[in-house]
Structures are given as C-alpha cells and as structure tokens.
Amino acid sequence: MKTFEIPKYLNLDGDSFEYLAELQNNILVNQYEEVVLDFYDCEYTNAAFTAFIGALMKICESQNIPIKLRSKKGSKVNQYFKRSGLYNYLVEDEKKYINDNAIPFRKISLDDDCIIDYIEKILSLAPITLTSKCKQQLFKNIFEIFNNSVDHSEAQMGVFSCGHWMPNKKELVFSIYDTGKGIPKLIKSKVDETFTSETALKWALVRGNSTKQLNGGAPRGLGLSDLIDFINLNNGSIQIMSNDILYENKKGKESIKKLQNSIIGTLISIKIVADYEHIYISKREDR
C-alpha cells in the first residue's frame, strides 16, 4: 500500500497544480497495489481541485488500482467532500450531504438534459449581475467548454466537474476535468505536429481557432477566448493544466509554465469574484 500525505494547503497556485500533476503521474506510472490519499493533515483544498481528485479515483479504478480517501472526521476537508457531492458520488448513502452553495461533483453527459440545469446552477451562484444577453453568452461559452471536453478531448474515462460558492472568500470557483488526450497533444495531432506544447495551447486560446471549426453550422473556438475576456473584466482567474503545460490568467496577467510531469487530459479551473457594483453586458450589446 502506498500512502500519499496531501499538503496542508492546496490553493489555486502553481505549486498546487504541479503537486497534483506529480501525484497523478506517480500513481499511474508505479501502478501501486493500493493507494491512500491521506487528507488527515490537510486544512484546505480549493473547490477547483475536487473534479481532479474525483476523476483521479475513477482513473485508478479503470486501471484496477484500489484507491481510498482518508480525512479527519469533522474536519473542514471532510465536510467539504460531503458538501461538494464527491462523497455521495463515491459512496452509496441514502443521506444527501450536498449544500446549496455547491455545484455538485458529477460526471458530465451532454445527452443528459440536466446539463442545462447544471450550467444554470453555475450562473445562479455567480456573485455578479448579468444582463439577459450577457447571461446567454456566458451560458454558451460554458456549454462550449463542456462540449469540447466531451466531444473533442476523446476522453476515455469521462468528463468531471465540480465547484462551490465560498461566501467567506466571496468567490465562486468551478472546474472541468476531462480524461482525454489533452489540448497540446490534440492540437499537435490535428493542426501542426511541429508545435510545442506551449505553442499548441496558445493556438487553442486564439478566438475562432478550433479543431472542428464548424459543428452543425455553429461557430466554434469562442468559449475559452470569451471566458478569458470575462475573467479579465471580473478580475478573477482561469487556470488550464493540460499535458505538461499550466496556463494561468489572473487579473489580466498571463503566464505559461512547463510542468515537470504530464497529466492525462485537461483541467480548467475558473474563479469569479463577487462584484455587487457593476452590471455585466455582452460585447455585442454596446455596438
């Protein structure tokens, strides 16, 4: 049995993303007979990482690696796993622990009509005021990201999402994790095999660029670009960890870092900060 003692804090920073990439790589490369993720001494894990942790357990399950979560009963982390929906997803328990502030952990299916309610839940928890057109645009952007994760990524073990409105921090954080090829590998295979991982990811972030430019007549390649514009306006943040690359955009400042370990697929984490003084409108409304 291999036990991994999770750090005291998992924040939305480069070190935490690097740690998660190393953790996944270590488990899957070594193929341990049994794995324990020990959160006993962990005092805080960001809601954005719940999708990654839940998906990692499913990846291990698909590779016949028994894996367990361990946390101190009654601790903040233990309570969060319950309130986020991760506990109810993993364990058969008639009692539901999910609270109203959660974007519940779930495996995403675009064929499921519940995806509409799921995105509406994200938007309803967003601590901002949107015009009707802006809300429609943001809905389309988020749906495109879900669609890309399911349709483009070639995810073998599914696409997972989770998030939470954190009233004390006055932040809404949610994430989407697909277990597919990863953006750099996909772009290299579909667009230009000479691209580096950094170049491939930058290509994917250019408005209008998509490996499937049209789908049923609808333009693609707008979701991430538009979301980044929105995040900059909101002074929030977006992180994209895919294969061996971590892209971060915080308050309009971009950075790309090459990771020491490559992950399966892509994790997209988005933070929206509370803003009660402004009304957000779509770019197309002011023309």
3-class secondary structure per residue, the chain: CEEEECCCEECCCHHHHHHHHHHHHHHHHHCCCCEEEECCCCCEECHHHHHHHHHHHHHHHHCCCCEEEECCCCCHHHHHHHHCCHHHHHCCCCCCCCCCCEEEEEECCCCCCHHHHHHHHHHHHCCCEECHHHHHHHHHHHHHHHHHHHHCCCCCCCEEEEEEEECCCCEEEEEEEECCCCHHHHHHHHCCCCCCHHHHHHHHCCCCCCCCCEECCEECCCHHHHHHHHHHHHCCEEEEEECCEEEEEECCEEEEEECCCCCCCEEEEEEEECCCCCEECCHHHHC
CA dist 5 and 70 (Å) reads 10
Range of the domain at 233: 2-286
Cβ atoms of 8 and 43 closer than 8 Å: yes
CA dist 23 and 61 (Å) reads 16
Cβ atoms of 11 and 47 closer than 8 Å: no
CA dist 43 and 31 (Å) reads 28
Residue 143 has pLDDT above 80, yes or no: yes
Q: Which residue has better confidence, 201 or 151?
A: 201
Which of 93-97, 112-116, 249-253 is least confident?
112-116
When pLDDT is averaged across residues 106-122 and rounded to a whole number, the result is 86
Q: What is the pLDDT of residue 220?
A: 41
Cβ atoms of 152 and 26 closer than 8 Å: no
Output the pTM of the full model.
Answer: 0.92
Q: For the chain, how many structural domains are there in total?
A: 1
Percent of the chain with pLDDT strictly greater than 90: 71
219 confidence band (pLDDT: 50, 70, 90)? very low
Residue 159 has pLDDT above 50, yes or no: yes
Pairing between strand 245-250 and 237-242?
A: antiparallel
When pLDDT is averaged across residues 267-276 and rounded to a whole number, the result is 95
**Helix-then-strand count for the chain, H and E:** 9, 16
Residue type, 94: E
CA dist 37 and 5 (Å) reads 6
Quote the crossing angle between the two packed helices 14-30 and 50-62, to the nearest 10°: 10
Q: What is the pLDDT of residue 112?
A: 64
Q: What is the pLDDT of residue 147?
A: 84
When pLDDT is averaged across residues 28-49 and rounded to a whole number, the result is 94
Residue 153 has pLDDT above 80, yes or no: no
CA dist 181 and 183 (Å) reads 7
Q: What is the pLDDT of residue 215?
A: 42
DSSP 62: H
